[in-house]
Structure 1
Amino acid sequence: MVEDIAAALAAHGLLLRGGFNFAGGEETPSGLSGAAARSVLLVGQAGAAPWPHFLRWREGRSQTIADPLDTWSREVIGAVAETFGARAASPSDTPYLPFQQWAMQAEGLKPSPLGILMHPQYGLWHAYRGALLFEDEIAFGETREVVHLCDACVDKPCLKSCPVDAYSADGFAHGTCLAHVRGHNGAPCRTGGCLDRNACPYGAAYRYPPEVQAFHMTAFAGL
């Protein structure tokens, strides 16, 4: 079944990003019928692979759709969930589900200084678009221990490239970043993406193209 799900997602440029069975007695979200889910498969992307599929989908729809990428993700992942008897969940669902914690458990990843999980192959150029919740357990192999690339990075260029020092040991200064991106001097960030994120040397082959980064920055800034 897992292989079939992976193939169905791959047709849209999406990936299965691992999964796990919930521990006995753990409070879990509900599955398709409303009973407690017993396993979860995470759905995401590496690089900008879904972008052409998303653009084709968007061509036939109103350009005023709010959160179009989220809408597309829900539609695609929802259809796959329906086919395989799962409940689809999105990172934007409320109450929010612990997607980052799930990802860390499923793939053995750790956060970078920017908060984005660092992947040993994709670097910072990956994302999670949804999850499939099943009411039965799935046979998973053991999660491999992965190298956390940030541990070997001495210079930390990801903390030295932002002109307003939005990222620091104190966390992310959301308001400072937002004001800069919206302001006169924020054009490089709006058109080419976060300078701190782009400064990371890892996973460069998966770096989002400028138009994809501009799309995300426009959404972030509410422009």
Structure 2
Amino acid sequence: MRGLIENIAAALARHGLILRGGFNFADGEEATPGLSGVVAKSVLLVGQAGAAPWPHFLRWREGQPQAIANPLDTWSRQAIGAVAETFGARAVSPSDRPYLPFQQWAMRAEGLRPSPLGILMHPEYGLWHAYRGALLFEDEISVQSAEAAIHLCDACVEKPCMKSCPVDSYSAEGFDYRSCLAHVRGPNGEPCRSEGCLDRNACPYGTAYRYPAEVQAFHMAAFAGL
């Protein structure tokens, strides 16, 4: 008989989603309320590797109004929310307000560290993964603690991810989103608009999971408000 984690993973897989690790909150740790309002004791991160959810999202999108705002967020909320309801959890999203500490949760759940682009570097998926939500439980569940993952950026000498942007939006000081937006929205915004961020695509790791150009264009359009 399968356990809770395996059953949740199987339910998420029907949407192209995967479990991205989890943990139990420590006693006295400030945590987010669960389904009934009681402070949650456990969290499971939900996300994707590569573009596996994309076909599921497109099928859902066909039945929605074209003018729907933030369609991928909406689909993610519905898909993860349905799984949460089945297993008595509260579903939360990275876009919820006030913002929840998803980046910290993700690093804790999988032992990952940020790349120079700010995206967490995964030892298998590289930069081609995402977190779509989380499941909060009011009871402790059996979750295997994550060990620190190999940080591939430490072994990358050339750092092509810092050298490919035509307007040098990424630097040691951080991400200059204003210059990125101006470029993507401007007359010289190709191929960024149609093929995605050149810095991200320059990363040599996880290329088997790289999002197709269609998916990257979708995300770039959402980022730039196009």
TM category, shorter? over 0.9
* 1:65 maps onto 2:68 in alignment: yes
Q: Which among 21, 25, 35 is matched to residue 22 of structure 1?
A: 25
In 1: Cα distance, 2:102 partner to 2:85 partner: 21
Whichever residue aligns with residue 117 of structure 1, its letter is: L
Cα deviation code 1:178-217 (max 9, x no counterpart) = 0000001112100000000000000000000000000000
- Checking the alignment, whether the CA contact within 8 Å between 2:91 and 2:135 is kept in structure 1 is yes
The Cα shift of 1:139 comes to: 1.2
Q: Which runs of 5+ in 1 are unaligned?
A: none
- Checking the alignment, whether the CA contact within 8 Å between 2:48 and 2:131 is kept in structure 1 is yes
In 2: Cα distance, 1:141 partner to 1:134 partner: 15
Cα deviation code 1:78-105 (max 9, x no counterpart) = 0000000000000000000000000000
Cα deviation code 1:160-184 (max 9, x no counterpart) = 0000000000000011100000001
Cα deviation code 1:130-172 (max 9, x no counterpart) = 0000001111223133110000000000000000000000000
Match of 1:11 in 2: 14
Aligned with 1:102: secondary structure?
helix
Match of 2:162 in 1: 159
Aligned with 2:193: secondary structure?
helix
Q: How does 1:48-127 map to 2 (within 5 A)?
A: 48-127=51-130
Percent identical residues: 79
The Cα shift of 1:9 comes to: 0.2
Number of paired residues? 223
Q: Which runs of 5+ in 2 are unaligned?
A: none
Cα deviation code 1:21-73 (max 9, x no counterpart) = 00110111100000000000000000000000000000011111000000000
Q: Runs (4+) of structure 1 moved beyond 6 Å?
A: none
- Checking the alignment, whether the CA contact within 8 Å between 2:109 and 2:145 is kept in structure 1 is no
Whichever residue aligns with residue 156 of structure 1, its letter is: K
In 1: Cα distance, 2:144 partner to 2:47 partner: 19
In 2: Cα distance, 1:113 partner to 1:124 partner: 11
- Of residues 140-149 and 62-71 in structure 1, the stretch that sits farther from structure 2 once superposed is 140-149
In 2: Cα distance, 1:215 partner to 1:142 partner: 35
Match of 2:221 in 1: 218
Match of 1:187 in 2: 190
Whichever residue aligns with residue 128 of structure 1, its letter is: Y
Superposed CA RMSD in Å reads 0.5
- Checking the alignment, whether the CA contact within 8 Å between 2:23 and 2:145 is kept in structure 1 is no
In 2: Cα distance, 1:142 partner to 1:117 partner: 18
Match of 1:141 in 2: 144
The Cα shift of 1:15 comes to: 0.3
The Cα shift of 1:219 comes to: 0.4
In 2: Cα distance, 1:142 partner to 1:84 partner: 21
Q: TM-score scaled to structure 2, two decimals?
A: 0.98
Q: Which among 37, 41, 44 is matched to residue 38 of structure 1?
A: 41
